[in-house]
Structure 1
Amino acid sequence: MADLLNDTQISEALATLSDWQRDGDSIVKTTKLDSFGQAIAVVNRVAELAESVDHHPDIDIRWRTLTFRLSTHSDGGITGKDVSLAQQIDETINSL
């Protein structure tokens, strides 16, 4: 089990992430890519990252708009695992 982050830790983490926001016990980011193919490429890369750390985001795909929702469900909220995966998602998007 991972330790839940407190409100201050979550706010500090969000300040280091690009366009992520807190929504209850999750952190959420919506991003628009240049094409559907590019959006799916990001989803595929994020899937590989998520599998490698056994931590899986909820992903909503709407044409070329992606919404990522991260929460450590087994721990009941936001943990360092979510922040780490959010950073990797940002890196993936920024690498395009």
Structure 2
Amino acid sequence: MRTLIILAVVGACVAYPFIQDAPDVAAEKTRFFEVFRAIEAAAMPKPGQPRTPPKWYGPLASTVPAGLPGSTAIVANTADVNAARDEFFNTYRAQLASVGGVHRLV
């Protein structure tokens, strides 16, 4: 059954170039592309016309803090984060000691 579905999909993909649009669909596609080309031509700068970037009136990115309003750049760890961190480092040190290595952790 799965093979038949895959073959049906592949068959539909192969048949794509041969499927013709209905007359109303073809007419609408033609109308759409005519309007699109007209809008595109109007939006393009004319030859010799200088392209100036739009003026920005908003704040500079360097003055806007990341995160939520009122948040600080450094957030204190909660008790459960500290406990998990300590458990990880203790396990890490125990494993390191079992193979004879020494490593400094922050």
If asked which structure has higher relative contact order (CA below 8 Å, sep 6+), I would say 1
State the TM-score, normalizing by the size of structure 2. 0.20
State the TM-score, normalizing by the size of structure 1. 0.22
- Structure number with greater Rg is 2
